């Protein structure tokens, strides 16, 4: 009987010990998760101060620019973080994004990545006249020609107020969405988030994942305008290819060579592009006649303002090695958060 009692007590103590160990581990994980969230939030607060300084500098109220050069990027660790590719897609130059790590004590840190929304294609600024930009962008990202046409025309139908197809074959109005197995209404107003693209005819999760780093919905009103000095390669190519053809007496090779020269200049003069108010003379790009025509044609889409900043803040609790990502879009005019998502 004594042996049975000892065995039973041993079994109970082992069970309780395992349960206690599990609960302690879960508690540590939850504490680490909460701490990492607030480290990320501290990064967002830091970015607000930097955006304020950038806006004041652009308005001439301050001669100082925030120093984002320190601790620019830990390639080995941070490139493995979730959604890092949304900021700096593989193979792209990250000159259009600012990275740094603020000091938050011994137990944690945060990586802040700030990327101007004006470096992207604003889908709310697309029209029948300039929708070729979206078709070219989708093609560069691997979409088939027909599907690129379907997505682009259906995108226009999604946000316009009428019920008339933008294209008889490629467009999509209510009758298309009503015919789906899980029907929903066509929005018929501007996009509020880029995630609405997943509802547009022809869009798949795979295409959206490739497209996400290059499109925006801010500002929700206005023309298509891109900061050409900081726009990534795919955006510049889409714009240039959309302008090539008989109207400019250029071809696709001219567009691609022009973009290469612009990117080469960024690479060799990277210090100049640390200032968001940078101004480069067209002669500095050493363009030939046709390339210069294309560059001048792109000025219709030019924007030098930085009205909205996309901010990613990864907070890391070093003790538990737990990371939380907060993704926000901040309106530089009043520093309000117009988009918020936690991963």
- Tens of pLDDT, residues 41-73: 988 998 888 888 877 776 665 555 444 444 445
Residues 86, 313 contacting (CB under 8 angstroms): no
pLDDT value of residue 99:
76
Quick one: what percent of the chain has pLDDT higher than 90? 51
pLDDT value of residue 96:
66
Residues 53, 277 contacting (CB under 8 angstroms): no
Which two three-digit tokens encode residue 15?
A: 């069970």
Strand partners, 327: 312, 341
pLDDT value of residue 25:
77
Residue 312 CB burial class (10 angstroms; 0-12, 13-18, ≥19) = buried
Tens-digit pLDDT profile for residues 308-337: 999 999 988 888 888 899 999 999 889 999
pLDDT value of residue 68:
45
Q: At what angle do helices 233-243 and 289-297 cross, to 10 degrees?
A: 100
Domain boundaries, the chain: 116-225, 228-306
Name residues of the chain where pLDDT drops below 50. Answer: 65-72
Nearest to 141 by CA among 213, 243, 83: 213
Does domain 116-225 fall under CATH 1.10.40.60? My reply is yes
């Amino acid at each position: 009987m004594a042996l049975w009692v000892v065995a039973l007590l041993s079994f109970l103590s082992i069970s309780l010990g395992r349960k206690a160990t599990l609960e302690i581990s879960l508690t540590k994980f939850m504490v680490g998760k909460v701490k990492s969230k607030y480290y990320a939030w501290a990064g967002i607060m830091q970015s607000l101060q930097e955006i304020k300084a950038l806006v004041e500098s652009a308005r001439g109220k301050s001669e100082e620019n925030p120093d984002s050069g320190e601790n620019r990027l830990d390639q080995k660790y941070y490139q493995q973080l979730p959604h890092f590719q949304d900021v700096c897609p593989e193979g792209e130059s990250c000159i259009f994004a600012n990275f740094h790590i603020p000091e938050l004590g011994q137990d944690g840190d945060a990586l802040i990545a700030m990327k101007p929304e004006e470096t992207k294609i604003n889908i709310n600024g697309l029209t029948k006249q300039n929708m070729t930009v979206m078709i070219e962008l989708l093609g560069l990202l691997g979409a088939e020609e027909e599907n690129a046409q379907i997505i682009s025309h259906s995108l226009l139908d999604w946000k316009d107020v009428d019920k008339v197809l933008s294209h008889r074959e490629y467009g999509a109005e209510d009758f298309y969405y009503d015919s789906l197995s899980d029907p929903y209404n066509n929005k018929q107003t501007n996009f509020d988030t880029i995630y609405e693209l997943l509802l547009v005819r022809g869009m798949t999760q795979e295409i959206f994942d490739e497209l996400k780093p290059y499109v925006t919905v801010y500002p929700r009103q206005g023309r298509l305008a891109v900061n050409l000095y900081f726009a990534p390669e795919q955006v510049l190519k889409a714009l240039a290819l959309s302008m090539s053809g008989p109207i400019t007496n250029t071809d696709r090779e001219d567009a691609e060579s022009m973009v290469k020269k612009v990117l080469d200049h960024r690479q060799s003069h990277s210090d100049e592009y640390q200032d968001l108010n940078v101004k480069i003379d067209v002669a500095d790009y050493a363009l030939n006649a046709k390339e210069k025509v294309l560059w001048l044609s792109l000025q219709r889409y030019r924007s030098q303002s930085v009205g909205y900043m996309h901010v990613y803040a990864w907070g890391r609790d070093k003790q538990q090695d737990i990371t939380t990502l907060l993704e926000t879009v901040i309106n530089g005019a009043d520093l309000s958060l117009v988009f918020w998502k936690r991963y």
